[in-house]
A = this chain, B = another copy of it.
Amino acid sequence: MATEKLDTATRREQIAEAALALISEKGMQGLAIASLARRVGLVNSALYRHFNGKDEVLDAMLDLIGDRLMANVKAVRRESARPLDQLRQLLMRHIRLIRENQALPRIVFSEEIYSGKPERRTKLFNIISRYLTNVSDIFSEGQKNGTIRSDTDPLVLAVMFLGLIQPAAILWHLSNNKFDVTKHAEKAWGIFADGLSR
């Protein structure tokens, strides 16, 4: 009725973002074409004007997530010059990203994403690998720098870095947001960084 017509480029963005929001609120189960369409003010069928199917929506979502992860990396590289500070900042940004957007862990952990279309698993792997590579670059710089011990593989450190947040994020989620991720991350980072610099 009163639904204004918007071009596909705009709609695709709206829809991908609505998908993230929906998942954040209702979980993967909540991501139904009908709900998704309604959320951007359309009916089911209209969604197919902009995406060939649900698969394409999922792909678009993954791209969005990749963008946000990389945006965080770029931001912290701008904000500070010292690797250890950059990492700490990144940790906090990552937590904020997850808190504001619960869709992120839910998508990464869910197989609905790639159970139908195995290539999407590779896509997700690439997104995470790219993030890890960037994180490990920061570690490398710290090692050249002398602020981080050089006897350890930076890629291992990068994966450990993710490990500072991940289980905490799950506990936060399972505990109905009672578990304090930020506090945990601060303490864990303290211990980790302590070990790094010696």
Chain A: residues with CB nearer than 8 A to chain B? 26-29, 105-106, 108-112, 115-116, 121-122, 124-125, 128, 152-153, 156-157, 159-160, 162-168, 170-171, 174-176, 184, 187-188, 191-192, 194-195, 198
Chain A contact residues, majority secondary structure:
helix
CA gap between A45 and B32 in the complex, in Å: 28
CA gap between A111 and B170 in the complex, in Å: 11
Question: How many copies altogether?
Answer: 2
Please give, as numbers and ranges, the residues of chain B lying within 8 Å of A108 by CB-CB distance: 170
A188 with B159, Cβ < 8 A, contacts A110-B110, A112-B29 known? yes
In the complex, what's the smallest C-beta–C-beta distance from A184 to chain B, in angstroms?
6
In the complex the two chains form, is A175's CB within 8 Å of B111's CB?
Answer: no
Please give, as numbers and ranges, the residues of chain B lying within 8 Å of A188 by CB-CB distance: 156, 159-160, 163
A159 with B175, Cβ < 8 A, contacts A152-B191, A195-B191 known? no
Q: List the B residue with the shortest CB-CB distance to A158.
A: B167
CA gap between A125 and B173 in the complex, in Å: 9
CA gap between A122 and B175 in the complex, in Å: 7
Q: Which 4 A-B pairs have the closest CB atoms?
A: A195-B195, A163-B163, A109-B109, A125-B174
Please give, as numbers and ranges, the residues of chain B lying within 8 Å of A163 by CB-CB distance: 160, 162-168, 188
Of the residues B27, B121, B168, B194, contact of A111 by C-beta under 8 Å? B27
